[in-house]
Amino acid sequence: GENVEQHPSTLSVQEGDSAVIKCTYSDSASNYFPWYKQELGKRPQLIIDIRSNVGEKKDQRIAVTLNKTAKHFSLHITETQPEDSAVYFCAASKGGAAGNKLTFGGGTRVLVKP
Partner 1 sequence: NAGVTQTPKFQVLKTGQSMTLQCAQDMNHEYMSWYRQDPGMGLRLIHYSVGAGITDQGEVPNGYNVSRSTTEDFPLRLLSAAPSQTSVYFCASSTWTGGIGNTIYFGEGSWLTVV
25 Cβ neighbours under 8 A, 6+ residues apart: 2, 3, 4, 5, 33, 71, 72, 73, 92, 103
- CB 79 to partner 1: min, Å: 26
Interaction between residue 40 and partner 1 (CB under 8 A): no
In this chain, which stretch among 58-66, 67-75, 78-86, 98-106 interacts with partner 1, using CB under 8 A? 98-106
- The correct pick among 57, 71, 103, 111 for binding partner 1 (CB under 8 A) is 103
Interaction between residue 49 and partner 1 (CB under 8 A): yes
Q: What is the CA radius of gyration of the chain?
A: 14
Interaction between residue 95 and partner 1 (CB under 8 A): yes
H or E stretch covering 69:
none
Interaction between residue 23 and partner 1 (CB under 8 A): no
**Other C-beta atoms lying within 10 Å of the C-beta of residue 88:** 23
